[in-house]
Amino acid sequence: MIYKRSSALFAEAEKVIPGGVNSPVRAFKGVGGTPVFVKEAKGAYLYDEDGNRLVDYINSWGPMILGHAFEPVVNAVVEKAKKGTSFGMPTEIETQIAELAVSMVPNIDKIRFVNSGTEACMSAVRLARGYTGKDKIIKFAGCYHGHSDSFLIQAGSGASTFGSPNSPGVTKGTAKDTLLARYNDIENVKALIEGNKNEIACIIIEPVAGNMGCIPPKSGFLEAIRSLCDTHNILLVFDEVMTGFRLAKGGCQELFNVKADIVCFGKVIGGGLPVGAFAARNEIMNHLAPLGPVYQAGTLSGNPLAMAAGLAMLTELNSHAEVFIRLEEKTAYLHEGIAKVLNDNNITHTINRVGSMISVHFDEAEVVDFDTAAKGNNDTFKKFFHGMLDSGVYIAPSAFETWFITDALSYEDLDFTIAAVNKVSKFL
């Protein structure tokens, strides 16, 4: 495929935007080469600036669960825009989307809207600290909760050591309050709690990890965390920015029948506009300003265009719950097809999948946490990525990302994708 115009646009962008992008993974650093510039998108397809059509498995990293330029969402935004784009005053539509979200998700009474998943997680942790009066948090290596300071902490060697910042600009003071645990390792979580008695405000987790590939929680893992939280007066925060309104109407609380104390949303809840949200039961949410002392605010929070997009999206998902079944079936079909082709071509691999999240790892060991995810063969992944791109299939330009399946994908698209994997397998 030809990427002449994309290359030229990237060169221009690099002069005025750091690295040419407004979010790092987009720069293709993990796979090499020049990022593809999108011109437009419809349904399951992206059309780039050079006129190539790409079957899209990123879907804006999750939000476009019903496909690009989904008409009910587009129409809702267009109609709203004609009536003014921001007021900084309450509007009825904020209550409408809040009522709908609260009705779809178990175990929440109130929800506060913000502008991104980052803000949602950052605010959820502040609320957890304010509510419990404790400072420390536990997060899991390989889980992503946005780019706010407390979360940019990498696994050191020992899981029970204090976190050290993995970005300059995050202070040691901030990092020391973030404890790192290994995903799917409950003994590790127990040890951290024992070593920090009465100091831990919350445990934040992606209930299905999606930012180190797709990693499901082992059976009983979430339940065990829940019970530790109950015993030690720790709040459990489910970061459902990726999984919320994707894996089920009610997200992972519904899927695994485990209750969280605070739930974070983003991605699907905004229908492709910048939206995040966090939600909890009244006793916790009432600690938030203006009802309570924990401060949180936003000039554009609850923005009418964003709320219109989100409301149209949630309305669609709420009234067509069969979408989740269809998505799972399509993803399972893709899973089987890719597994068969990789096996036939003797390519070492592991495929993880939950619902409409799937990831292909080029390693035969089970992928259950960050360490096992990091073992995958990155050279193979790079070749795979570029081969797929040349075949007209766009997957995330990083071995640590989940593929997001959209309902706009037809079975022909899935077959096209499996055929591309077959073709690419020949030279991996």
Ligand X SMILES: *Cc1c(COP(=O)(O)O)cnc(C)c1O
Residues marked active site are found at: 144, 239, 267
Distance between start and end Cα atoms, the chain: 19
Instruction: Show the tokens assigned to 112.
Output: 């506060």
Q: How distant, in Å, are the alpha carbons of 48, 136, 229, 277, 282 from that of 196?
A: 51, 8, 13, 29, 28
Note whether 355 binds ligand X by CB under 6 A. no
Interface with ligand X in residues 179-208 (CB under 6 A): 206
Residue 145 C-beta: closest distance to ligand X, Å: 5
Note whether 216 binds ligand X by CB under 6 A. no
Note whether 402 binds ligand X by CB under 6 A. no
**What is the three-class DSSP state of 278?**
strand
H/E stretch holding 354 reads strand 350-354
Q: Which of 163, 210, 216, 272 binds ligand X (CB under 6 A)?
A: 210
Count of residues that interact with ligand X, criterion CB under 6 A? 16
Query: In 3D, which of 29, 63, 26 has the Cα closest to residue 276?
Result: 63
Position of minimal CB gap to ligand X: 117
Q: Which is nearer to ligand X, 125 or 424 (CB)?
A: 125
Note whether 58 binds ligand X by CB under 6 A. no
Instruction: Show the tokens assigned to 190.
Output: 């127990």
Q: Which of 48, 49, 94, 239 binds ligand X (CB under 6 A)?
A: 239
Instruction: Show the tokens assigned to 3.
Output: 């990427």
Note whether 145 binds ligand X by CB under 6 A. yes
Residue 52 C-beta: closest distance to ligand X, Å: 26
**What is the C-alpha to C-alpha distance for residues 415 and 428, in angstroms, rounded to an integer?**
20
Interface with ligand X in residues 317-346 (CB under 6 A): none
**What is the C-alpha to C-alpha distance for residues 273 and 268, in angstroms, rounded to an integer?**
9
Q: Which is nearer to ligand X, 20 or 207 (CB)?
A: 207
Residue 103 C-beta: closest distance to ligand X, Å: 23
| Cis upstream peptide for 290 (omega within 30°) | yes
Residue 342 C-beta: closest distance to ligand X, Å: 26
Q: Which of 111, 121, 155, 189 binds ligand X (CB under 6 A)?
A: 121
Burial-class residue 299 by CB neighbours within 10 Å (0-12, 13-18, 19+).
Answer: exposed
CA atoms within 13 A on the CB side of 400: 17
Q: Which is nearer to ligand X, 144 or 381 (CB)?
A: 144
Q: Which is nearer to ligand X, 151 or 384 (CB)?
A: 151
Q: Which is nearer to ligand X, 137 or 242 (CB)?
A: 242
Query: In 3D, which of 115, 342, 132 has the Cα closest to residue 241?
Result: 115
Note whether 118 binds ligand X by CB under 6 A. yes
Instruction: Show the tokens assigned to 361.
Output: 């790892």
Pairing of strands 403-404, 153-154: unpaired
Note whether 272 binds ligand X by CB under 6 A. no
Note whether 217 binds ligand X by CB under 6 A. no
Note whether 139 binds ligand X by CB under 6 A. no
**What is the three-class DSSP state of 284?**
helix
Binding window for ligand X (CB under 6 A); candidates: 75-83, 111-119, 181-189, 313-321: 111-119
Residues 6+ apart with CB under 8 A from 202: 124, 125, 128, 129, 132, 137, 138, 234, 235, 236, 237, 261, 262
Q: Which is nearer to ligand X, 148 or 318 (CB)?
A: 148
Q: Which is nearer to ligand X, 260 or 347 (CB)?
A: 260
Residues that bind ligand X (CB under 6 A): 61, 116-118, 121, 144-146, 206, 210-211, 239, 241-242, 266, 276
